[in-house]
Structure 1
């Protein structure tokens, strides 16, 4: 994409979703950290169902640590990989208590040192909890970056670095959420909804017209396109 295309791309996504945020339920950085850790290879919906029961009972490092691995499993057993996730969460709580005064670190090095916390999870926490301009590339953003021509890369790290480089600063803080929501609800894997896409005319995917993209989209059509929820 050209700089002009990228500017238009994010202006449109901003107009469509002025206040984007994660779909994980949380009320503080610790809850977010736990929710994102649990979300690996699981849907946000499944995680929310579990944490909606867990967090009212235990939403501090001390409270979850007191549950122990077996106690925690009872709350998260509906989530994929719950055995290993329970062990990692309990270990994380112990480290937070002993090394960080039960406070979630606001830097990458300390976050990635926590069990079960990789680069993507750290990026989500840094961006969503602490307002840092990071880019957590999941399967949706990886697909969208390559498909549209916004950020082409062979792996998630290449796409992440490319996105950070090309996205204008005014959009960086919210860009992660705009991209993931657009990838989740519009630029989906098998049958992308190009006919209702607000950025189809600045997208460089050659197959978009086969999925209903307009060759000459007017500004009126763009601004009044339906918003997927």
Structure 2
């Protein structure tokens, strides 16, 4: 894909959604960190349903530590892998209190040192909470980047690196959210809604003509 076509794609995404953001509900960097940890193999809607009551009762590391692992499980048991997530969240809260005065660090290395926090989670926090132009490549972004031709790669990290190099700088801050939302609602995994896609004429997906009538996943 050439530079002009890539720029045109992001211009259209920006025109359709000038201020994209996460669909996870949060009001502080800590709440976002916890929500992102919980979102692994879970829907944002399911996470929001659990974190609503949780954050009303406990939205700081100290407050969640006061709940204890068993108490935390009661709030998040509707979310997949809730046992391991509860364990990681308690350990993360302990680390935040012990090493960061209870404050979420604005630093990739420190974030990735927290239990249950990998590169993707760190990228989400850096981008959404702290305004860093990072690219948190999930299954949606991986699919959209490869399918459209925006940034092809065989691994998540390869796609991340290519996006960081090839997305025009003026779009980098919001590109993460545009691509996730596009993959979530238009460029679906099993049956992409190509007929309803604003990027149809710019997309390099060889099969897009088969799905030009839209359809649903």
Q: Same fold (TM over 0.5)?
A: yes
1:64 corresponds to which residue? Answer: 64
1:206 corresponds to which residue? Answer: 206
Runs of 4+ more than 4 Å apart: none
2:75 corresponds to which residue? Answer: 75
Aligned length: 214
2:102 corresponds to which residue? Answer: 102
Are residues 1:28 and 2:10 paired?
no
Deviation, 1:15, is 0.5
Aligned residue runs from structure 1 range 212-223, under 5 A = 212=212
Deviation, 1:127, is 0.1
Task: Note the alpha carbon deviations across 1:166-187, whole angstroms, 9 max, x for none.
Answer: 0000000000000000000000
2:186 corresponds to which residue? Answer: 186
Give the distance between the partners of 2:145 and 2:20, measured in 1 at CA: 18
Say what the alpha-carbon RMSD is for the aligned residues: 1.0
Deviation, 1:206, is 1.0
1:141 corresponds to which residue? Answer: 141
Task: Note the alpha carbon deviations across 1:199-218, whole angstroms, 9 max, x for none.
Answer: 111110111111117xxxxx
Q: For structure 1, which runs of at least 5 residues remain unmatched after alignment?
A: 214-229
2:16 corresponds to which residue? Answer: 16
Give the distance between the partners of 2:121 and 2:98, measured in 1 at CA: 21
Aligned residue runs from structure 1 range 119-130, under 5 A = 119-130=119-130
2:45 corresponds to which residue? Answer: 45
Give the distance between the partners of 1:22 and 1:96, measured in 2 at CA: 23
Q: For structure 2, which runs of at least 5 residues remain unmatched after alignment?
A: none
Three-state SS of the structure 1 residue aligned to 2:57 is coil
Give the distance between the partners of 2:152 and 2:169, measured in 1 at CA: 19
TM-score of the superposed pair, with normalisation by structure 2:
0.97
Deviation, 1:92, is 0.5
Give the distance between the partners of 1:140 and 1:111, measured in 2 at CA: 23
Deviation, 1:100, is 0.3
Give the distance between the partners of 1:47 and 1:18, measured in 2 at CA: 25
Give the distance between the partners of 2:8 and 2:53, measured in 1 at CA: 41
Deviation, 1:192, is 0.6
Task: Note the alpha carbon deviations across 1:138-190, whole angstroms, 9 max, x for none.
Answer: 00000111101111101100000000000000000000000000000000011
Deviation, 1:196, is 1.0
Three-state SS of the structure 2 residue aligned to 1:45 is helix
1:196 corresponds to which residue? Answer: 196
